[in-house]
């Protein structure tokens, strides 16, 4: 083992000596002194940067001052925010559209059908809040309470009884006059059950 280590150390020493010898011979081949090399390097640098504008000096930020009341550091940059003519970034886009607000909310799913197309399936009425289960022509069911919008003609649920739902609809006739009508929607009885 000792002879193996010694041979490795001799090989490393020989490699270092050879590298030093080659480096010296290379320096002797160029024929330059250290001063001449520094001058050549400077001339090369000047040729490379000729016609190139120097980089602008960075603008230093002003020193922050500590607010005596809040204890927070503040920097006076000379800029102040002016919100005139700009949208509030924390306000909803919907509120910025008055045409959408004037139309009201979009019609719900039960407002897309005529009352004759809707069917009362079930009623829960002996509680504080009476509710009814109404089914549309596609089979989807919706729970409605008093005041819920239903039907194409701006209908609203007025009352919910044991097997009926009364809806008040507003119609506009050909003369442009509005008339209201109460329509009773009854729950169908199952036969043979």
Which pairing describes strands 141-145 and 155-160: parallel, antiparallel, or unpaired? unpaired
**Tokens standing for residue 13:** 């020493």
Q: Reading across the β-sheet that carries 131-135, which strands appear in turn?
A: 119-124, 131-135, 141-145
- Where do the domains of the chain lie? 1-29, 109-186
The owner of tokens 């002996």 is 126
pLDDT in tens, 89-113: 887 776 666 655 555 456 688 888 8
What are 138-167's pLDDT values in tens digits?
999 999 999 999 988 889 999 998 889 999
Integer Cα distance of 76 and 78 in angstroms: 6
Measured CA to CA, the distance from residue 132 to residue 146 in angstroms comes to 9
Classified by CATH at the fold level, domain 109-186 comes out as SH3 type barrels. (2.30.30)
Give the residue ranges of the chain where pLDDT is below 70. Answer: 1-3, 16, 18-31, 48-49, 51-52, 94-107, 190-193
pTM above 0.85, yes or no: no
> Distance between CA atoms of 145 and 132, rounded to whole angstroms?
7
Helix, strand and coil in the chain, % to nearest 5: 30, 25, 45
């Amino acid at each position: 083992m000792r002879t193996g280590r010694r041979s490795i150390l001799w090989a490393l020493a020989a490699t270092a000596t050879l590298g030093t010898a080659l480096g010296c011979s290379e320096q002797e081949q160029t024929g330059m002194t250290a001063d001449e090399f520094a001058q050549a390097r400077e001339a090369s640098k000047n040729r490379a940067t000729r016609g190139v504008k120097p980089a602008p000096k960075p603008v230093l930020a002003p020193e922050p001052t500590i607010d005596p009341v809040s204890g927070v550091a503040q920097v006076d940059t000379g800029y102040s925010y002016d919100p005139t003519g700009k949208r509030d970034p924390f306000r909803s886009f919907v509120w910025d559209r008055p045409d959408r607000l004037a139309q009201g909310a979009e019609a719900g799913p039960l407002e897309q059908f005529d009352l004759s197309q809707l069917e009362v399936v079930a009623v829960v009425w002996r509680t504080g809040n009476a509710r009814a289960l109404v089914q549309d022509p596609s089979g989807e069911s919706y729970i409605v309470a008093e005041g819920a919008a239903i039907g194409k003609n701006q209908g609203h649920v007025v009352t919910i009884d044991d097997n009926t739902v009364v809806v008040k609809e507003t119609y506009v006739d050909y003369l442009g006059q509005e008339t209201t009508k109460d329509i009773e929607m009854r729950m169908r009885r199952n036969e043979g059950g």
